[in-house]
Structure 1
Amino acid sequence: MRKHLFIASAILLASISVIAQQKKITALSPLDYVDPAIGGSGIVLQPTRQTVHLPNSMLRTFPMKQDQLDDQITFFPLCVVSHRTEYAFSFLPLKGKADDSFWGKRFTIATEKSTPYYYQADEEDNGITVAFTPSAKSGFFQTDFQDGDNSYLRIGLNGASGIVEQQGKRVITGTEEISGLKVYFYAETDQDISKTIYQNDKEKKHLLAKFESKVVKFKYAISYISVEHAKFNLYTEIPNWNFNTIRDKAKAVWNQKLSQISVQGGTPAKKRTFYTALYRTYERMVDINEYGEYYSAYDHQVHQSKEPFFVDNWIWDMYIADEPLHTILDPEKETQKINSYITMYKQSGWMPAFALATGDWPAMTGNHAASWMADAWNKGLRFDVKTAYEGLKKNSLQGTLLPWRNGPAMAIDSFYNTHGYLYSTHPEERGSKDGVDMDKWWEGRGNEGVSITLEWSICDWEIAQLAAPAGYPQDKALFLKRAGNYANVYNEKEGFVWPKDKQGNWIYPYNTKLLGREYVTENNSYTYNWTPKHDLKGLFEKMGGRAKAEAKLDQLFREDLGLPKFLFWLNQPDASGLVGQFVMGNEPSYHIPYLYNYLGAPWKTQKRIRMLMDTWYPDNVFGIPGDEDGGGTTAFVVLSMMGFFPVTPGIPIYNIGSPSFSQVSIKLPSGKVFTIKAINNSKTNVYIQKATLNGKMLNKPWFTHKDLINGGTLVLQMGDRPNKAWGTKVEDSPPSAINADPGKYE
């Protein structure tokens, strides 16, 4: 009997061991869930690209196609200079007779594999396989031509100015000017070039390099300093010819980075959405310091420095979610990014808006470097706050408020400083007014006066929070007064933000749904009604109190468009991901679902967030409802799926939503861990029944940044019916008021 029991036990243990081994073998890492094809077909505007790069690194590339549904690669840019807008050089392997058609020939995809660290595509016609893997400032292509007949690499410029040329049997170099920035590359092949054909021998802007070999390796590096420095970058990062070694290093970097957040529960689809979104948040900013020196387009000089120099940040998009996310995940790097902005201010005389490698691109509205820096400061990051403050103050009081412009204030800015709002023009008044051509698209087809007034109000509140730490406490009252300017464009009679003319009169007729950028930026008054996130208390009072504000917020998600979608999008192309008039596909909306926490109805935040995550972020080619903006959208996804979100920059707290997973753990740089457990979480159990933080009852729908960075556990009991008593008291509401004291929450 004992013998039989022993045999049975042995069999059972062996079975358990086999099962354990199978689980170990089949267990997926966070990186395994990433699919760069998610969101690859833009619903209305831009598709999201299959970008291959290391986190926050200078060299980025992807297969250039119309979108993810396109089966032809036009070329690979050797480097993405600025997210979605500027690319340096082009590369493509081709096979066949090198005639005139070769210069426009495309690579037709039969199959492809796409990851953050590796891309591979097989060609449909000739069976070519091309693979790519990155390092920080260099890249490695490997092409299998199947045989050595009629095999070419096509290399050229994307713009009109520059040159590419063969320098030896195995060396190709190039220079290309992009928006005043010179970009250089140095490349080597592991096989001799048997013949070189230029499209134009005199100009040398595009060439075909012929090879007699079956497999050709092409490694290269980019520099903004010189071809020689590009060669130095290449030899520093990829000295040998082992493609797999570089690929494995890149994979290890991504595995470590993505493993900082672990999730349990949820569906595989949700994990694919989550980890792909997390990968996306590392595309920007990028460090362009080339091992001790960097070129700055902000003073057109090469600088010696051991510190990173980060560029490529569209701050209007990034301050809302991306920068706050990385303030949690990597505060040291976040400080380095802010230091880069401060350096740019010292070099150029103005605090940048969109700090590109090519220089400041003053796109969009506001002075949101202030929002970013005040938020970081009040979460404990430390930088040269005096110089930062001086730059932000100069932008606000001496610079122009207008989008798409840099430099000193003009007459229209003086009007703002005097009257507390930026006036708008009646349709019949289009033309040149106060130095602004009101008809030009890139100056807003008007001046976007409503949005500018609203967003500069936020930014001036943020500047006020930095005044005392910077040593200018006497300035705080001025900027707090300016922070109230948003009220000057709120039409209480109509219940909407509204354009006001130079005489102080509301402009009629005005359609809160349909007018475009004449008065507001990329959205309409339904969205911009909720912009004053720095003074929600005051905003709700103007709306008639919390109950009326809640009803207005309900209606936002239910209001019809007033006309067919195709006509609505003709006027509002950025307003994608629609739920009523709520716009899931554009950054100014991202805080709005969390506003129910301030109105005594946090269960509605929970309902809306889970619906929005489930509806608009599937794990497929349509999985991003608007422009992703290099992390601007996907950081919102990461934070919301974890279960919390920051609303007011500068107040170091997080609003609680409804997590997509049963458990999320964030490994903090300090070694501590912050965990969110959602007990009984499911597709239907989206509502919080009760909560504890580190074992103590939590009856408010928010927690502090200090709670998070100290490590601990937030436990949420979930259910399928809302608990309409949890977090509903006025005193439970998160803080947001002009006179709020962020220091109370540090």
Structure 2
Amino acid sequence: MRNYKNLAATALLLIATSVSSFAQQKKSTALTPLDYVDPNIGGSGIVLQPTRPLVHLPNSILRVFPMKQDQLDDQISFFPLTVVSHRTEYAFSFLPIKGKQDDGFWGKKFTIASEKTTPYYYQAEDEDNGMVVEFTASTKSGFFNIDFKDKSNNYLRIGLNGNAGNVQQQSKRVITGFEEITGLKTYFYAEADQDISSLKYQNDADKKRMLASFDNQQVKFKYAISYISIDQAKANLGIEIPAWDFNAVKEKAKSIWNKKLSQIEVKGGTTAQKRTFYTSLYRTYERMVDINEYGQYYSAYDHQVHKSDQPFFVDNWIWDMYIADEPLHTILDPKQEVQKINSYITMYKQSGWMPTFALATGDWPAMTGNHAASWMADAWAKGLRFDVKTAYEGLKKNSLEGTLLPWRNGPATAIDSFYNTHGYLYSTHPEERGSKDGVDMDKWWEGRGNEGVSITLEWSICDWAIAQLATPAGYAKDKPLFLKRAGWYANVYNQKEGFVWPKDKEGNWIYPYNTKLLGREYVTENNSYTYNWTPKHDLTGLFEKMGGRQKAEAKLDQLFREDLSLPKFLFWLNQPDASGLVGQFVMGNEPSYHIPYLYNYMGAPWKTQKRIRMLIDTWYPDNVFGIPGDEDGGGTTAFVVLSMMGFFPVTPGVPVYNIGSPSFNEATIKLSSGKSFTINAVNNSKTNVYIQKATLNGKPLDKPWFTHSELLKGGVLTLQMGPRPNKTWGSKIYNAPPSAINVDPEKYE
């Protein structure tokens, strides 16, 4: 009997040990947020630009990817040593190549047999010879590790990316270079861990491309970039990657990304949804980038090198970013958000104008509006503090003294003076293209018109935002002026037609006008179906012009159901940015992102819940087609992150969030204060997309929104989900989110 007892005890011990071992193994192999990131998602643009598998650290200068047509392409042309401006400008080219030199060697590509992409590490194997290239990054420096597989015919092809400059060998193991990109000189300093056995230029006279030969199987190549000098690049490298330990740099980068992405923890949902979510979150850290180089930075806004211990952030397309990306990071990292805004204010002081698109190369006056105002007013309303007086003065100058016209910088033109006098930017009839009021309109955008409808609508939003900053800046007397200008959007709303509409210089509506098919003659990247919903600062007034909330709701329903009136490929000839179509709704372009949430303002929150879940599930799968339009360095993916968590901001400057329909059972944001805010979706599933009831910190919540201050206090928003809509939850009109010209944002702090 004793033997049986001993045997039984032994068996129980073995079982317990096995269970414990399995639990430990499961714990050690648990997936981190970083494990869900797949930089290939969205890598084949459906209509427009693909995403790129960028290797970089969050908000850092150095950004690298394999230059291919897209992620379906199996050949690498080169690796840029850094991205200077998202999707548009790249500095230098680098490619390991192998083989006997011939006439085509300077154009030889790397054919991919396999590759691995992560935010912190890239690896690819060459199909022809088995060569393996690896890359990892620090903030201003990068590290390539190449295994050529043998010691013969091994080269590094290093050169410029088509601009002025040169590359030169400084010693047996050191190569340097500079390249001028839109007036900005970018420098690099590089070291190899093996001697260069021979060197050859494609053209000895200009020294723009070189072949560095190595008689070694393994070659490591580390480098740093600078916007100041080659010596500064050398110093950057010495600080960041002083040794030759590739794995140490890689593991440090991995740790940084894991910490950053772990600030939001999601539970439930599918693996595919987590891949979409965390890849989207990774994308939102591509911009802005801090170009301070250990105590100094070069500014293209006054062409000077400045001593500073503060970050200097550049590369922000604010037209794209103010909607979701900057609000997301206002939650995640308010201190850094203030540093970004401070950078804009510094650029204003250096250049005399508040930037439009604040690139490293200087201000790029792309797109429409003065949306630095939208961003700053929103940040101020959410408690962020900066030099509001100087910021206000710059924003006011842009609005009253600068040009409103797209793709232009500088003082107001005669057309702008018309806007300031009449309250709308007049449009021209098709036969009137050309020079008008001293401005050559044919050069604005491929010979098209002046986008007057969009400009009037978007500047109305921006002027409302400026009005909110007037009092804290010490200019309370200005507020009535900017509130008046905020109402000018109504001047391009044709109530008879029920659409925003171009108006000529005499105040007449322009006919014929097709609300679906015309391109950028009158609107920016979309049509009137999208721009109908632009005045998010005065939805109360907008709905009144549409005939009341019920008629506005019916119009919004029709947006998602309206046909294109012709085949898609013909529609896209005029509206290439109108991708991710659901009826006339455009999922692939930023001006649409707030639109599904507008049902919350109409007494029909259940329709927001229905639309958001359908749009996310349909247009953001976890594959190479997983982005319906241009991603714009966080402009689109921030919408995904916020919407999958279950909420979204609509009116910049009013510190509240609209509730949608979460993709996960639970999403927790770890706030910088040490507190946490959790969205708990009980009984959530693919079919249970509708909110039945809600509580905030245990108290009943019967409105489809909450405030930023409630989020900052921490706590739990609990949503009971079900398969059929509860059409009464949040439906009372007095429970709608605030949006009107006379709204006081301070009431919601």
Q: Which of the five TM-score ranges fits, normalised by the shorter chain?
A: over 0.9
2:89 is aligned to 86
The counterpart of 1:247, out of the listed 240, 250, 253, is 250
For 2:129 and 2:549, the matched residues in 1 are separated by: 66
Contact kept, 8 Å, 1:122 with 1:129, in 2: the verdict is yes
Is the counterpart of residue 568 in structure 1 residue 581 in structure 2?
no
Q: CA deviation at 1:440?
A: 2.7
2:117 is aligned to 114
For 2:513 and 2:25, the matched residues in 1 are separated by: 64
Unaligned runs of 5+ in 2: none
Unaligned runs of 5+ in 1: none
For 1:118 and 1:590, the matched residues in 2 are separated by: 32
1:302 is aligned to 305
For 1:738 and 1:717, the matched residues in 2 are separated by: 34
For 2:221 and 2:6, the matched residues in 1 are separated by: 65
> What CA deviation, in whole Å up to 9, does each residue of 1:308-363 have, x standing for no partner?
00000000000000000000000000000000000000000000000000000000
Once the two structures are superposed, the pairs formed by residues 481-520 of structure 1 within 5 Å of their partners are 481-520=484-523
- Amino acid of the residue matched to residue 491 of structure 1? N
2:449 is aligned to 446
Q: CA deviation at 1:100?
A: 2.6
1:215 is aligned to 218
For 1:427 and 1:158, the matched residues in 2 are separated by: 40
Q: CA deviation at 1:126?
A: 1.1
Once the two structures are superposed, the pairs formed by residues 632-651 of structure 1 within 5 Å of their partners are 632-651=635-654
Q: CA deviation at 1:102?
A: 1.2
> What CA deviation, in whole Å up to 9, does each residue of 1:580-630 have, x standing for no partner?
000000000000000000000000000000000100000000000000000
Is the counterpart of residue 376 in structure 1 residue 379 in structure 2?
yes
> What CA deviation, in whole Å up to 9, does each residue of 1:65-86 have, x standing for no partner?
0000000000000010000000
2:40 is aligned to 37
Q: CA deviation at 1:438?
A: 2.4
Q: CA deviation at 1:15?
A: 3.9
Q: CA deviation at 1:160?
A: 2.9
Contact kept, 8 Å, 2:644 with 2:664, in 1: the verdict is yes
> What CA deviation, in whole Å up to 9, does each residue of 1:209-264 have, x standing for no partner?
00000010000000000001100000010001000000000000000000000000
> What CA deviation, in whole Å up to 9, does each residue of 1:519-548 have, x standing for no partner?
000000000000000000000000000100
For 1:8 and 1:692, the matched residues in 2 are separated by: 49
> What CA deviation, in whole Å up to 9, does each residue of 1:255-283 have, x standing for no partner?
00000000000000000000000000000
SS in 2 for 1:689: strand
Contact kept, 8 Å, 1:88 with 1:178, in 2: the verdict is yes
Contact kept, 8 Å, 2:444 with 2:450, in 1: the verdict is no
For 2:555 and 2:689, the matched residues in 1 are separated by: 23
1:408 is aligned to 411
TM-score scaled by structure 1?
Answer: 0.99
For 2:189 and 2:10, the matched residues in 1 are separated by: 67
Q: CA deviation at 1:441?
A: 5.0
SS in 1 for 2:231: helix
- Amino acid of the residue matched to residue 420 of structure 2? N
Is the counterpart of residue 590 in structure 1 residue 593 in structure 2?
yes
The counterpart of 2:61, out of the listed 51, 58, 82, is 58
Q: CA deviation at 1:412?
A: 0.2
For 2:98 and 2:446, the matched residues in 1 are separated by: 46
SS in 2 for 1:176: strand
1:175 is aligned to 178
1:619 is aligned to 622
Q: CA deviation at 1:4?
A: 6.9
Contact kept, 8 Å, 1:404 with 1:443, in 2: the verdict is no
- Amino acid of the residue matched to residue 127 of structure 2? E
Is the counterpart of residue 143 in structure 1 residue 157 in structure 2?
no
CA separation of 1:444/1:702 partners in 2, compared to 1, >3 Å: closer, same or farther?
farther
2:533 is aligned to 530
1:256 is aligned to 259
SS in 1 for 2:598: helix
- Amino acid of the residue matched to residue 193 of structure 1? I
- Amino acid of the residue matched to residue 711 of structure 1? G
- Amino acid of the residue matched to residue 85 of structure 1? T
For 1:566 and 1:466, the matched residues in 2 are separated by: 44
Q: CA deviation at 1:5?
A: 6.3
1:661 is aligned to 664
Q: CA deviation at 1:8?
A: 5.7
The counterpart of 1:339, out of the listed 326, 337, 342, is 342
Is the counterpart of residue 326 in structure 1 residue 329 in structure 2?
yes
For 1:393 and 1:561, the matched residues in 2 are separated by: 40
For 1:692 and 1:6, the matched residues in 2 are separated by: 50
Give % identity: 82
- Amino acid of the residue matched to residue 695 of structure 1? G
Contact kept, 8 Å, 1:365 with 1:451, in 2: the verdict is yes
For 1:696 and 1:496, the matched residues in 2 are separated by: 41
Q: CA deviation at 1:731?
A: 0.8
Once the two structures are superposed, the pairs formed by residues 650-689 of structure 1 within 5 Å of their partners are 650-689=653-692
SS in 1 for 2:442: coil
> What CA deviation, in whole Å up to 9, does each residue of 1:419-442 have, x standing for no partner?
000000000101111132222353
Once the two structures are superposed, the pairs formed by residues 379-394 of structure 1 within 5 Å of their partners are 379-394=382-397
- Runs of 4+ aligned residues of structure 1 deviating over 2 Å after TM superposition are 1-16, 435-444
Contact kept, 8 Å, 2:121 with 2:134, in 1: the verdict is yes
Contact kept, 8 Å, 1:92 with 1:155, in 2: the verdict is yes
2:547 is aligned to 544
Q: CA deviation at 1:445?
A: 1.2
Contact kept, 8 Å, 1:281 with 1:632, in 2: the verdict is yes
TM-score scaled by structure 2?
Answer: 0.99
For 1:660 and 1:104, the matched residues in 2 are separated by: 46
Is the counterpart of residue 315 in structure 1 residue 318 in structure 2?
yes
Is the counterpart of residue 604 in structure 1 residue 607 in structure 2?
yes
Contact kept, 8 Å, 1:159 with 1:177, in 2: the verdict is no
Q: CA deviation at 1:26?
A: 2.9
- Amino acid of the residue matched to residue 167 of structure 2? V
SS in 2 for 1:142: strand
- Amino acid of the residue matched to residue 352 of structure 1? P
Larger deviation, residues 646-655 vs 427-436: 427-436
Contact kept, 8 Å, 2:503 with 2:510, in 1: the verdict is yes
For 2:437 and 2:363, the matched residues in 1 are separated by: 24
For 2:243 and 2:102, the matched residues in 1 are separated by: 34
For 1:427 and 1:666, the matched residues in 2 are separated by: 51
The counterpart of 2:98, out of the listed 92, 95, 98, is 95
For 2:701 and 2:60, the matched residues in 1 are separated by: 40
For 1:79 and 1:429, the matched residues in 2 are separated by: 44
For 1:524 and 1:535, the matched residues in 2 are separated by: 20
For 2:585 and 2:7, the matched residues in 1 are separated by: 68
Contact kept, 8 Å, 1:402 with 1:443, in 2: the verdict is no
Contact kept, 8 Å, 1:437 with 1:443, in 2: the verdict is no
Is the counterpart of residue 205 in structure 1 residue 211 in structure 2?
no
> What CA deviation, in whole Å up to 9, does each residue of 1:152-203 have, x standing for no partner?
0000001231000111100000010000000000000000000000000111
Once the two structures are superposed, the pairs formed by residues 260-275 of structure 1 within 5 Å of their partners are 260-275=263-278
SS in 2 for 1:439: helix
- Amino acid of the residue matched to residue 404 of structure 2? L
Contact kept, 8 Å, 2:406 with 2:444, in 1: the verdict is no
- Amino acid of the residue matched to residue 325 of structure 1? L
Is the counterpart of residue 286 in structure 1 residue 289 in structure 2?
yes
Q: CA deviation at 1:14?
A: 2.8
Is the counterpart of residue 480 in structure 1 residue 483 in structure 2?
yes
